[in-house]
Chain A
Amino acid sequence: AQKVTQAQTEISVVEKEDVTLDCVYETRDTTYYLFWYKQPPSGELVFLIRRNSFDEQNEISGRYSWNFQKSTSSFNFTITASQVVDSAVYFCALSGNTDKLIFGTGTRLQVFP
C-alpha cells in the first residue's frame, strides 16, 4: 500500500525564519513520483514540484528547496527566509504504479510578521 505521512500538523514561524516541512512516504513501487502542492487561504491547489524516484538530486527554486532521500523515504521541503505570503497548507503527494495521487494530510504553515 502507498502512504504519505506529514507528521507536522501546524507550524508557526516569524518572518525571515527558515522552516522545513517533513514528508515521509511508503511504497513498494520501484518507480514513483513525489509532489508538493501549496494551498493558500484562497483555497486553490498550486503545484510546486515533482520528483521521480530515480532522481535524488536536491532542488532549489528561489527560497524553496527540496531534499529527497530514498534511504529514509523522505521528501522534505524547506522555505528559506519565510514570508507572510508563504502562509498556506502544504501537501506532499505520491504517485506510483497507478494513476492515483496519494496525498498526505497537509501541514499548515503560519508565518507571522
Chain B
Amino acid sequence: DAGVIQSPRHEVTEMGQEVTLRCKPISGHDYLFWYRQTMMRGLELLIYFNNNVPIDDSGMPEDRFSAKMPNASFSTLKIQPSEPRDSAVYFCASSLGSGPLSTDTQYFGPGTRLTVL
C-alpha cells in the first residue's frame, strides 16, 4: 500500500507569492495532520483533520496560512502571501484513529522543503 504522498518535494518561491502544498493520506486513514519543521522550533503541529473536518488549527501561525481537506484523499496547505520566515520542511501525516481510546500511529509523508526568497 502506498504511504502518504506529498507534492511538490521541493518548492522555491519569492516572497509574496502564493504557495500550495498537497497531501494524499494513506487510504482508509481518518486523521490527517500538517506539521512544520524548522531548526529553531523543531516539529510543530499546524492543523489536523478528522474525517475531512478541521479539528484544531491552533498551531497555524497566522492568517496567511490556510488548510483544506475537500475529500478523504486530498488536503492542501496554502500560504498567501509567503514570507522568508515560512521557509521550512512541511510534513503531512495520517493515522487510522486518534484520541484517548485509539491513539494510532501517525505515518509521515516525505515532506515538502519550502524555500521563500
Say if A and B assemble together: yes
Interface residues of A, Cβ cutoff 8 Å to B: 29, 31-33, 35, 37, 43-47, 50, 52, 91, 95-101, 103, 105-106
Q: Are B45 and A101 in contact (CB under 8 A)?
A: yes
Residue ranges of B at the interface with A (Cβ–Cβ < 8 Å):
31, 33, 42-43, 45, 48, 50, 55-56, 89, 91, 93, 98-100, 103, 105-111, 113
Closest to B109 in A: A44
- B48 and A99 form a contact (CB under 8 A): yes
Chain B contact surface mostly = strand
Complex alpha-carbon distance, A9 and B67, angstroms: 33
Question: Are the C-beta atoms of A33 and B103 separated by less than 8 Å?
Answer: yes
* B43/A91 in contact, CB under 8 A: yes
Q: How far is the CB of B72 from chain A (nearest CB, A)?
A: 17
**Closest CB in chain A relative to B59 CB, distance in Å:** 9
- Closest CB of chain B to A71's CB: distance in Å? 22
Q: Say yes or no: B45 contacts A44, CB within 8 Å.
A: no
B91 close to A45 (CB less than 8 A): yes
